[in-house]
Amino acid sequence: MLEVKRTDEYCEIIMDNPLIKSYSNDLYFTVGENIDRGLKKFILNLNQVDKIDSAGLEVLLRIHEEVDGLGGKLVILQPQPLIEKILKLTKVQEKINIYMESEHVCSIMGRQS
39-72 confidence digits (pLDDT tens): 999 999 999 999 999 999 999 999 999 999 999 9
Q: What is the pTM of this model?
A: 0.91
Residues 17-44: tens digit of each pLDDT = 999 999 999 999 999 999 999 999 999 9
- Measured CA distances, 88 to 1, 6, 33, 36, 53 (Å): 25, 28, 28, 30, 14
- d(C-alpha 55, C-alpha 94), whole Å: 18
Share of the chain above pLDDT 90, in %: 84
> What 3-state class would DSSP assign to 87?
helix
**Number of other residues whose CB lies within 10 A of the CB of residue 48:** 14
Domains in the chain, please, with CATH? 2-111 (3.30.750.24)
- 16 and 1 Cβ atoms separated by less than 8 Å: yes
- Name the pLDDT band for 111 (thresholds 50, 70, 90): low
- 80 and 58 Cβ atoms separated by less than 8 Å: no
The whole-number pLDDT of residue 113 equals: 40
Share of the chain above pLDDT 70, in %: 96
